[in-house]
A and B are shown apart, each in its own frame.
Chain A
Amino acid sequence: MRNNLSFYFILLLSIQGFLFSQSHPSVELSVADYPDHSRVFIESSHPMSLSVEKSGEYIMVRIRADDPFRIRKQAFQSQRVESIEWGRGSDYYIFTIKIAPEDFVVQKSVSEDSSLVLIDVMSSSNEMEENHDHSLSRSRGLNSTESSAAPQKEELRTIVIDPGHGGLETGAEGRFGTKEKTVTLEIAQKLKTIIERNIPYRVQLTRKEDVDVSLERRAAIANNYKAYVFISIHANGSYRRTARGSETFFLSLNATDEEIRRLAYMENNSSELDGIQSEEQDNLKLILWDMAQSSFIRQSSILAEKIQTKLNTLSGTLNRGVKQAPFKVLTGVACPAVLVETAFISNPDEEKNLTKDEFQESIARAIYLGLSEFLEEYSL
């Protein structure tokens, strides 16, 4: 019954979401400042086709659009970006970004699915020592003006953050009525911001609002974005109100040694699948897809260790350690994947903490630090 209800609810939401997104594509603009550069984020609900041009003290961004957009501009204060204005042409929008320094360099990065564009602005004076990418374009004989006229396209890797539960699935609930689904989304959004402001990765959330998303869909989102890392955010629940602390999980395969050996063999010899009848082959592929996480267990355990260490030192929560369990949401994810139980919502003290911005920030920051340490060691 509960399953049926949630099914119809998801159906309704997805139909609604479909109609809504069809009629109102949206573009969101925001700006962040860093010591050596400023970054303009242009994020769209749809893939964008756009060009970036430097013209005097302006950067002109032209986005192709057959239908009208909904444009949301977040308020910002920046040392380098003075203002962003926009206007509409026959089949395009044009954004005029006014830059404060007279001499500046522009660099554009586009996500794989072209729905996120980052425009980095740095003054020419510090670009030589600090920007490696630009020195690369310089070595190709391009000067700063040319490089901005023909910006290098850089593929951004995606990190998928999964705010646990949502919609009818409230998850655990605290004594003061705090819902797990609410705090997981708030922490995930904070984590997204911290990651995107500090390292050149694009962050995709499995849900941006309070909606039902099936566990299989969450894993599918990670795989469709070719996620580099998957992090699921949760808040724990216990029978007893005194249980407290954070723990980080990675998947346990829940298989015998013999089964693990067979699975590893199949993965390494997938060409042998060709000799098998197609129906059986489909079944085998289904098992491999279903257990996609099996090839990443070791990396996932390292990621879990790094995140748990930072949680322990930074967030001030009791260290419950790194653990292994057969979590449904992790099974199908084809990249290093962990599930963080940030704190116990069933513990009144931790429940109060979980609703506080500072606590959420410290958890997000700890996860970010663990993640970035992992990326430094394991990035290709």
Chain B
Amino acid sequence: MEYKKYILPAILFVMLIIFMILFFGSQGKEKTPDKRGSDMLKENISEEQEQELEMKSVVLFFISEEDHQLYKEEREIMPGLTLEHQIESLIEELILGSEEGFLSPFPPETKIRGVYITENRIVYIDFSQEFQAAHLSGSSAEISSIFSVVNSVAYNFESIEKVFILVNGTEQETLAGHIDLRRPFLPRYDLIHD
């Protein structure tokens, strides 16, 4: 019966050990993901910083006065956090104009009022009224302007299938009397100069 008096301390000792194992063990486990999480966060930030430094190379299409065909010019744009931002900076480059004497479809004072992308791969680009107000009437001029924008966007962003042009926040019937603006445009690569 003498051994009975050791039982309680032994049980207590075992329980203490189990408790300690559980306590320190779980603490250790909790610490590990914490550490990993912060590491991942750090990695993310550094990746983004690196991305921001890398400019995105794009191709823009400007209009030739001679034959109304579209001519390629390369540009570097800020990559931006979202696709909408990237499309906006691409259009801003188009507004800034050609470096090789071709025409931009936009008067320099044109502003972008918004860029929205829908689930069915259509991008809505809303321009200030300058785009329409001073536009030359004539089918050739109108077709060139529209597809300078549409081709430039669709060529550089594979996830965009069609481009819908809005002016001053609303759908327009036509840009200057001919081409239907009430439907989104597919790109027309046949209008590009070889």
Contact = CB atoms under 8 A, between A and B. Distances in A.
A243 B180 contact: no
B46 interface: no
Given A173-B137, A325-B139, A325-B143, 8 more contacts: A171-B177, A180-B137, A215-B173, A239-B63, A242-B66, A256-B186, A326-B179, A341-B140
Main secondary structure of the interface of A (DSSP, over half): loop
Interface in B125-139: 136-139
Interface in B165-194: 173-174, 177-180, 182-186, 188
B93 interface: no
15 contacts: A170-B137, A171-B137, A172-B136, A236-B138, A236-B139, A237-B136, A237-B138, A238-B136, A238-B140, A239-B103, A243-B140, A325-B178, A325-B179, A328-B182, A329-B178
Point out which of B63, B136, B140 has the most chain A C-beta atoms below 10 A from its C-beta: B140
B159 to A, nearest CB: 15
Nearest to A171: B137
A238 B186 contact: no
B137 to A, nearest CB: 5
A240 B174 contact: no
Nearest to B183: A254
A328 B174 contact: yes
Closest 7 A/B residue pairs (Cβ): A237-B138, A240-B65, A328-B180, A172-B137, A172-B138, A326-B180, A239-B65
Contact of A346 (B138, B161, B173, B179): B138
Contacts of B184: 254
Contacts of A325: 139, 143, 178-179
Contacts of A239: 63, 65, 103, 136, 141
B68 interface: yes
Contacts of B180: 254, 326-328, 331
Contacts of B141: 237-239
Contacts of B139: 234, 236-237, 249, 325, 327, 339, 341
A202 B179 CA distance: 29
Which of A328, A339, A344, A346 has the largest count of B CB atoms less than 10 A from its CB? Answer: A328
Nearest to A331: B180
Contacts of B103: 239
Interface string A343-369: 011100000000000000000000000
**Which of A164, A243, A339 has the most CB atoms of chain B within a 10 A radius of its CB?**
A243
B103 to A, nearest CB: 6
A9 to B, nearest CB: 15
B177 A326 contact: no
A255 B183 CA distance: 9
Nearest to A242: B66
Contacts of B140: 236-238, 243, 341
Interface in A295-324: none
A169 interface: yes
A326 B137 contact: no
* Interface size class of chain A, counting residues whose CB lies under 8 Å from the partner chain: 20 to 34
A165 interface: yes
Contacts of B178: 234, 325, 327-329
Nearest to B180: A328
Contacts of B186: 254-256
A234 B65 CA distance: 20
Contact of B179 (A180, A238, A256, A328): A328
Nearest to A180: B137
Contacts of A240: 65-66
A169 B173 CA distance: 13
Interface in A221-251: 234, 236-240, 242-243, 249
A215 B172 CA distance: 13
A238 B174 contact: no
B82 to A, nearest CB: 25
A249 B178 CA distance: 11
A327 B138 contact: no
A238 B65 contact: yes
Interface in B7-24: none
A238 B161 contact: no
A54 B178 CA distance: 50
A243 B178 CA distance: 18
B68 A238 contact: yes
B128 to A, nearest CB: 14
B173 A237 contact: no
Contacts of A327: 139, 178-180
A221 B138 CA distance: 23
A305 B63 CA distance: 26
Contacts of B179: 325-328
A127 to B, nearest CB: 47
A238 B182 CA distance: 23
Contacts of A165: 177
Interface string B39-74: 000000000000000000000000101101000000
Nearest to B136: A237
Given A238-B65, A239-B103, A255-B186, A328 B173 contact: yes
B145 to A, nearest CB: 10
Interface in B91-140: 103, 136-140
Nearest to A325: B143
